[in-house]
Amino acid sequence: MIEAGHFAAFLAIALSLAQGIFGLRGERRLAGLAAISAFAVMALSFLTLINAFVTSDFSVALVANNSHTLKPMVYKIAGTWGNHEGSMALWCLVTIGFGAIAAATMNTGRQVFEARALGIQGLLGVGALAYLLFASSPYLRLDPAPFQGGELNPLLQDPALAIHPPMLYLGYVGYSFIFALAAAGLMEGRIDRVWAKEVRIWSLAAFAPLTFGIALGSYWAYYELGWGGWWFWDPVENASLMPWLIGAALLHSVVVTEKREGFAAWTALLAVLAFLFSILGAFLVRSGVLTSVHAFAVDPERGTVLLMGLLAYGGFALGLFAWRAPKLEGGKAWTLISREGALMANNVVLIVAALTVLLGTLFPLIAEAFGRTISVGEPYFNLTFVPILTLILILLPIVQAWAWGKADVKGWLRWAAAGAALVAVFLLLGVGLLDISAGAAFGLALGVWLVGGAIWELKRRAITPGRVFKLPRRVWSMTLAHIGLGLFVIGAVVETTGRYEATLALPEGGSGTVAGWNITLDEIRAIEGPNWYADRAVLTARKDGQTATLTPMKRYYPAAAMPTTETAIHKTGAGDLYIALGEAREVDGESRWVFRVYFNPLVDVLFLGVTLIGLGGFLGLWPSRRAARPAAAEASL
Domain ranges of the chain: 1-152, 158-345, 404-498+605-636, 500-602
* Candidate from 119-128, 489-498, 528-537 with smallest mean pLDDT: 528-537
Q: How many CA atoms lie within 13 A of 371 on its CB side?
A: 0
Strands (E), 413-516: 500-506, 511-514
Band of the pLDDT at 84, cuts 50, 70, 90?
confident
Q: How far apart are CA 395 and CA 472, in angstroms?
A: 23
Binning pLDDT at 50, 70 and 90, where does residue 299 land? low
Q: Look at residue 628 and tell me whether its pLDDT is greater than 60.
A: no
Mean of the per-residue pLDDT values of the chain = 87
pLDDT on residue 635: 41
Give CA separation, 73 vs 52, 67, 141, 204, 394, in Å: 12, 10, 22, 33, 48
Average pLDDT of span 98-119: 95
pLDDT, tens digit, 9 for 90 and up, residues 3-21: 999 999 999 999 999 999 9
Residues 39 and 12: their CA atoms lie apart, in Å, by 7
Do residues 613 and 393 lie in contact, with contact meaning Cβ atoms separated by under 8 Å? no
- Could you report the per-residue pLDDT of 145-200, keeping only the tens digit for each? 888 877 666 766 778 778 888 898 899 899 999 999 999 999 998 999 999 999 99
What is the number of helices (H) and of strands (E) in the chain? 18, 10
Mean pLDDT of the region 410-431? 79
What pLDDT shows up at residue 624?
A: 58
Q: How many Å separate Cα 403 from the centre of its chain?
A: 31
Q: At what angle do helices 159-188 and 300-324 cross, to 10 degrees?
A: 30
Query: Which range, 22-36, 275-289, 436-450, 564-578, has the best average confidence (pLDDT)?
Result: 22-36
Residue 470 has pLDDT above 90, yes or no: no
Confidence at 630, pLDDT banded by 50, 70, 90: very low
pLDDT value at residue 288: 58
pLDDT (tens digit per residue) in 201-215: 999 999 999 999 999
The topology under which CATH files domain 500-602 is Tick-borne Encephalitis virus Glycoprotein; domain 1 (2.60.98)
**Between 115 and 314, the higher pLDDT residue:** 115
Write the CA distances from 292 to 277, 287, 315, integer angstroms. Answer: 19, 12, 29
What is residue 632's predicted lDDT score, i.e. its pLDDT?
39
pTM exceeds 0.85, yes or no: yes
Does residue 257 carry a pLDDT above 50? yes
Phi, psi of 281 (to 5 degrees): -60, -45
pLDDT band at 636 (very low <50, low <70, confident <90, very high): very low
CATH of 1-152, one of 1.10.12, 3.30.43, 1.20.120, 2.40.10: 1.20.120
Residue 501: its pLDDT value, please?
Answer: 92
CA 485/CA 450 separation, integer angstroms: 7
- Cα dist from 221 to 107, 237, 471, whole Å: 41, 10, 38
pLDDT band at 422 (very low <50, low <70, confident <90, very high): confident
Amino acid letter, 314: G
What phi and psi, each to the nearest 5 degrees, are found at residue 526? Answer: -85, 130
Query: pLDDT grade, residue 363 (50/70/90)?
Result: confident
pLDDT confidence of residue 143: 86
